[in-house]
Structure 1
Amino acid sequence: MSRTSPHTDGEIVQDFLSVAGLLEEPKLAQLYAYLAREEEATVQNVVEDLELAQGTAYSYVNRLVDAGVVVVTDDEQPRRYAAREIDLTVTTGAGDGEYTITPALIDAVGRRKTDADIDTYIDRHGVAGLATALIYVVARERGEVTHRLMADDLDISPLAAEMILQALRPVVHEHHQIDENVRHDTEEEVNK
């Protein structure tokens, strides 16, 4: 496992465990992604915007603070919270793959419970597969690849590729600079 900034081994392990917890619990991932988007929010903002019960919102926020992925930015009442930047690169045990865990990936996992296409993709390909799909979505939105190329590269059907590309498109546009004038393939364009 490597990290882009210098940390002690203990801090890297703690970061990994904290991020693993986010990837295992979509509701926590959703809250982290919300705080990353908003830059700063109160628990009341969380309650209103994510439609969580107040007790649940406090519990989730406290869990994220305890995990070290969210920090208190203002101790005055009402307290304000912000997501800590995450950029963790993990190498597979066999050494044949490397995955970077970013806020975009955490956001995508957080959408699992509200987007059936993301949920199905994670069930079939795991979070590592979702991380790979995100790379293709960025490339697709920049006009560098087509859904058919993604399907061939990942050995999935073109329909499955298009479905996950469309499901992850909003995530990519929230987390990456994408030129809106770039033309990318869609089913309509392919069928013309």
Structure 2
Amino acid sequence: MSRTSNRVDGDIVRDFLSVADLLEEPQLAQLYAYLTRENETTVQDVMDDLELAQGTAYSYVNRLVDAGVVDVTDDEQPRRYAAREIDLTVTTAGGDRNYTITPALIDAVGRRETNADIDTYIDRHGVAGLATALTYGLARERGEETHRLMAEDLDISPLAAEMILQALRPVVHEHYNIEAAEAGLGGLDVGDAGGGA
């Protein structure tokens, strides 16, 4: 679902609104992330793996199909579904920042329901703030950044930076290819988290 300038404005707006729904509803984001990981799956798999009731699973899958972020890949029974790739860049109202909405960000939002640190961070900094934290999380896992540098750059406490980086670590490892450098700075930051709060 990469968007380019040759798309008509109505398509871009529809796609943005579809993605906005994912960012507003953690359950839909969680389902989209699951479908991204599984490549192709059935509603029965969704019910079993995400522990959703049959009606809820069908309702959510149908909403994602209607939104255009999930495709029916096999119309035979049982139907199979796959997530479409999302890569949408949004510019802030002031035009000073761009945020890219990717499956990793949607996955992080989907974890809001089960991870209090992600939930708190979104409450305080919004989804755009979470997108920024995810960028720092990727850089940290690659050994290019520390929680203290993130805290300084974003004017938050080192403890808050470490907490969100730890919460986003599984998302980063699931969606990005992390080199061996992860054992360097990532391991050192954990013991450091309490000292600078």
TM-score band (shorter)?
Answer: over 0.9
TM-score when normalising by structure 2: 0.93
- Counterpart secondary structure, 2:113: coil
Alpha-carbon displacement from aligned partner over 1:82-102 (angstroms, at most 9, x marks no partner): 000000000011101110000
Shift of 1:188: 2.2
The aligned residue for residue 186 of structure 1 is 189
Aligned residue for 1:88? 88
Q: Which one-letter code corresponds to 2:117 in the other structure?
A: D
Give the drift of 1:4: 4.2
**Does structure 1 residue 123 correspond to structure 2 residue 123?**
yes
Aligned to 2:29: 29
Superposed, which structure 2 residues align to 1:141-156 within 5 Å?
141-156=141-156
Residues in 2 aligned to 1:189 and 1:122: alpha-carbon distance in whole angstroms = 23
Q: Does 1:104 align with 2:107?
A: no
Q: Deviations over 1:148-192 (max 9, x none)?
A: 00000000000000000000000011111101443123232687x
**Displacement of 1:43:** 0.1
Alpha-carbon distance, 1:21 to partner: 0.3
Unaligned runs of 5+ in 2: none
Distance in 1 between residues matched to 2:172 and 2:190, nearest whole Å = 19
Distance (Å, rounded) in 2 between the aligned partners of 1:93 and 1:5: 19
Matched residue of 1:71: which SS? strand
Which residue of structure 2 lines up, in the alignment, with residue 58 of structure 1?
58
CA offsets 1:52-72 (integer angstroms, 9 cap, x no match): 001000000000000000000
Larger fraction in helix: 2
Structure 2 contact 142–181 (Cα < 8 Å) conserved: no
Q: Distance in 1 between matches of 2:98 and 2:62?
A: 31
Distance 1:161 1:4 in 2: 34
Give the AA of the match of 1:131.
Answer: A
SS of 2:82 mapped into structure 1: strand
* Residue 132 (structure 2) aligns with: 132
Q: Unaligned regions of 5+ residues in structure 1, if any?
A: none
Structure 2: distance between partners of 1:153 and 1:97: 15
Counterpart in the other structure of 1:171: 171
Instruction: Please tell me whether residue 16 in structure 1 is matched to residue 19 in structure 2.
Output: no
Q: 1:129 to 1:145 in 2, by over 3 A?
A: same
Aligned residue pair count = 190
- 1:146 and 1:176 map into 2 onto residues whose CA distance is 18
Q: CA deviation at 1:5?
A: 6.7
Look up the SS of the partner of 1:96 in the other structure. coil
**Distance (whole Å) between structure 1 residues aligned to residue 18 and residue 192 of structure 2:** 42
